[in-house]
Amino acid sequence: MKKEQLIDLLGKLGELFRALSQDAEWPGFEIGLTEEEYQDFRELIVREHVHNPWFTKGSIQFALNSLADLLEPTVLKPFADRYGITEKPKRVAIIMAGNIPMVAFHDVVCVLLSGHIAACKLSSNDKHLLPAVVSVLQKWNPEFANRIECHQGMMKKMDAVIATGSDNATNYFEQYFGQYPHIFRRNRTSVAILDGSETREELENLGSDLFRYFGLGCRNVSKIFIPRDFNTDRLFEAIVGYGEIVNHHKYANNYDYNRTIYMMNSIPFLDNNFCIFKEDEGLFSPLSVFFYQRYDKMEEVTQFLETNKDSIQTIVGKGFQALGQAQLPAIDDYADGIDTMAWLVKI
């Protein structure tokens, strides 16, 4: 399959993602599916929460819309043109995380664009969406049957590995896949830095960085730096619109548990009945909890960022990525700072 044809088909897939993300009725045959096939995909999105309660319809649609942005031909072509295509295709195992919907699809796109074969090890938490996407691609072009594979069991044949998981999982990756060319990704989280000049709208946007995907993504903010004299009521007032998140039973269980633990241990915290703010110098906060840390000088923040750079995915705030944009990375904003495409064309 030529690169131009691949980009066109991925762009067509982006159009499908966009329609599905908007809950649009069947647009017609130009979408590349029959009405029945299109409705089947819509129903898959609706019922996915039965298999994974975190994968709500809204979360899946947001993920698809974000991916649609990356699959625009005007985005994909310049991106792909910066790299070559391998003349010796290899089987690249992609061991996928399942914390947010289709979290490893960027890796799949990179493997395809670089000319390799994507051998995808599905997460048990996300084992339906990608196979549905692969089925669509194979319908459009049977050559995809030789370019993308989906596996639920362990794979034995591979030439290189991209694996994402917890710190404990990474130790497993090292043991079993360390002999192959690899990219192993560990736990990461994200940080917000406020300087006190933020508008109400900007603080509302920060709420998206906090609560999107229930806080389960590596791009979700778990730590907020605020000036010494910052009034936290401003932040509470700005994020009140996200209060319905506590109606999700699994999120609510985490919120109730963490609040109970803090209360039983007389640990100070701020509470707004759907999330907890705890003054803490740590980086990784429990689900439903956000750590905040006051600072006097920006140098204090800079030192923290440098010390924890290998655990920080992205930073939002003035001079960094805009508040509210943490979950909307550019196509070349790689998950761990490693240029995946450059690595792929060299293996």
What's the pLDDT band for 72 if we cut at 50, 70, 90? very high
Quick one: fold of 189-317? Aldehyde Dehydrogenase; Chain A, domain 2 (3.40.309)
Angle between helices 3-21 and 57-70 (to 10 degrees): 150
Two tokens, residue 256: 């109730």
pLDDT of residue 87: 87
Predicted TM-score (pTM) of the model is 0.95
The residue type found at 344 is L
Query: How far is Cα 301 from Cα 14, in angstroms, rounded to an integer?
Result: 38
CB 129 within 8 A of CB 102: yes
**98-150 residue pLDDT tens:** 999 999 999 999 999 999 999 999 999 999 999 999 999 999 999 999 999 99
Q: How far apart are CA 323 and CA 316, in angstroms?
A: 5
- pLDDT tens-place string over residues 293-342: 999 999 999 999 999 999 999 999 999 999 999 999 999 999 888 999 99
Question: What size, in residues, is the chain?
Answer: 347
Q: How far apart are CA 195 and CA 228, in angstroms?
A: 10
CATH number of 3-187: 3.40.605.10
User: Where along the chain do its domains lie?
Assistant: 3-187, 189-317
For residue 154, pLDDT over 90 is answered with: no
What is the residue-wise DSSP string for 64-127? HHHHHHHT-HHHHHHHHHTS---SS--EEEEE---SSTTTTHHHHHHHHHTT-EEEEE-BTTB-
